[in-house]
Amino acid sequence: VNIKDLDPKYAHIQVTYVKPYFEDKEMSERKTEFERNHNINRFVFETPYTLSGKKHGNVEEQCKKRTILTTLNSFPYVKKRIPVNYEHQVNLKPIDVATDEIKDKTAELQKLCSSAGDVDMIQLQLKLQGCVSVQVNAGPLAYARAFLSDSQSSKYPAKKVNELKEMFR
């Protein structure tokens, strides 16, 4: 939301869905479900955009703004609302968005497959269909065509192209 576009005569509130945010090191230290859901003071939400100004576009032009919020106190807390005392934004370029999406989908699949006890085959099938034969969002094939083909890969930094290639192995 651009604050300059808002009418100052009215009070405005923005509500969005946030997820707990952990650095890689912190995530490895929080082994149990309890630890991953308690004593949390950093949250993240993402906003898609394109450089042309539209919210959504082709895979080659789809960017993402990741906003990391740090609260004054940790959740759970006595109050349901805690003021945000720090906000950090990271803009992801299209190849970074592709890498991030594949990394997230891979982590979801690994979590389903490594769950204690029997693997829920129905959940696994649904997740695989959502990852491989996607109907709504772009899938791995679209990312490969957009960023890894010989004609396209030269447009992006070699390090990022190699990172994306490694995810397909």
One domain for residues 31 and 61: yes
Residue 135 pLDDT: 59
CA distances from 142 to 33, 95, 112, 138 (A): 34, 12, 24, 6
Residue 89 pLDDT > 90: yes
Q: Among residues 131, 86, 79, 138, which one has the least CA distance to residue 109?
A: 131
Q: Global pTM?
A: 0.78
Rounded CA-CA distance 142/124 in Å is 22
Residue 134 pLDDT: 61
One domain for residues 25 and 43: yes
- Give the residue from 57, 75, 92 where a domain finishes: 92
One domain for residues 31 and 112: no
Residue 68 pLDDT > 90: yes
% of residues, the chain, pLDDT over 90: 24
**Could you tell me the end-to-end alpha-carbon distance of the chain, in angstroms, rounded to an integer?**
39
One domain for residues 67 and 105: no
Summarize pLDDT for 5-24 with one digit per residue, the tens. 889 899 988 888 999 999 88
Summarize pLDDT for 98-137 with one digit per residue, the tens. 899 888 888 888 888 877 677 778 888 888 877 776 655 6
Per the structure, the count of domains in the chain is 2
Q: Which domain does 138 fall in, by range?
A: 94-169
State the CATH number of the domain containing residue 114: 1.20.58.740
Residue 124 pLDDT: 82
One domain for residues 70 and 113: no
One domain for residues 88 and 5: yes
CA distances from 20 to 95, 103, 125, 140 (A): 24, 17, 26, 26
Token pair of 70, please? 């740090």
Q: 147 falls in which pLDDT band (50, 70, 90)? A: confident
One domain for residues 17 and 30: yes
- Give the residue from 56, 71, 92 where a domain finishes: 92
Residue 90 pLDDT: 94
